[in-house]
Amino acid sequence: MAAAILKTLILHQISFSMPVAAFVFDFDDTLAPDSTSSFLDWMGVDAKVFWKETVGPLDQDGWDPIPAYLYALIQLSNSSEKTRITRQKLQEFASKLRFHQGVTRMFPYLLNYVKDNHPGLSLEFYIISSGIGEIVRNSRIARFFTDIWASEFHYDEEGAIVFPRNVVSFTDKTRYLFQISKGLIGPESRADHYAVNRRTQGFRIPMDHMVFVGDGLTDIPCFSLVKRYGGVAIGVYDKHKRERWSRAWDFLEDGRVTNLLSADYSSNSDLMHNLLMAIDAIARKGN
């Protein structure tokens, strides 16, 4: 306990001596095509049928969409040995997960940009996702993130999913923005669920030093919060999925986001140029 407290104090001393910018990402359909659907297809399960015929009736019955799909996955896992969902399968699939263009090269590119152009600024990356944490944490890009929050399962002795342990739904996501702002990150922060609600003497990362990138309805509370306090909210969409375009456009028309761009993270893309400009703007603000 003493070591954890000392680590937290050191973290705060370091962070207040240098301004920090936080780039916070949703995961599914923001950095990669929907990972749950991809996992189901990898398992040999028709993802479209799963969402329409298993999750759909729960949604219509008034379920919150996030626990609805987690419950449906547990039901699927219990239905047969072939469709049994285990920690091992989730981790194996995670290593094969494909990302949107440029994602795997984006993080070192942004870090090098800060190092070369704004050496007095520190840049950190975070994920806040309604997706399955076991997939996110074992993906190829997980090593770049200071912390990751996602929906989690409890597993039985054989490693099979048995119950949702943590559910990250719509407004739940904003809780983790406050944790980032207050510096409540890392494994030690998991033990105190109420720390985020306590008063703080200062913010490690003010909201106007945050950039939030997301694609969907679950991201609207984060878009609104970050944008309200002077941060940058960027909506992205998959240019290959025309059915998503109108929803993405609604974010812009409703004033939810600062900008709306295709989910192309390559170095010469419009999205990357916006991320670089956001870094420049945060650097000008300083502490």
Q: What is the DSSP string of 102-158?
A: THHHHHHHHHHHHHHH-TT-EEEEEEEEEEEHHHHHTSTTGGG-SEEEEEEEEE-TT
In the chain, % of residues over pLDDT 70 = 82
Please state the pTM of the whole predicted model: 0.88
Strand order in the sheet with 210-214: 161-166, 147-155, 122-132, 20-25, 210-214, 232-237, 259-262
Residue 253's pLDDT is: 53
Mean pLDDT of the chain: 87
Question: Per-residue pLDDT averaged across 187-211, rounded?
Answer: 73
Range with top average pLDDT, 9-23, 126-140, 249-263: 126-140
C-alpha to C-alpha distance for 263 and 276, rounded to whole angstroms: 15
Contact 98, 104 (CB under 8 A): no
Of the candidates 217, 161, 221, 226, the one whose C-alpha atom is nearest the C-alpha of residue 24 is 226
Give the Å distances, CA to CA, from 18 to 80, 172, 207, 230. Answer: 54, 29, 16, 19
Residue 2's pLDDT is: 39
pLDDT of residue 15 exceeding 50:
no
pLDDT tens sequence across 200-237: 667 899 999 999 999 877 788 898 999 999 999 998 98
Residue 8's pLDDT is: 43
Give SS3 for 195. helix
Higher pLDDT: 191 or 164? It is 164
pLDDT of residue 248 exceeding 60:
no
User: Assign residue 34 a region: left if phi > 0, alpha if psi is -120 to 50, beta otherwise?
Assistant: beta
CB-based contacts of 35: which residues, under 8 Å, 6+ apart?
27, 28, 94, 97, 131, 132, 135, 136
Confidence at 18, pLDDT banded by 50, 70, 90: confident
Strand partners, 236: 261
Higher pLDDT: 122 or 247? It is 122
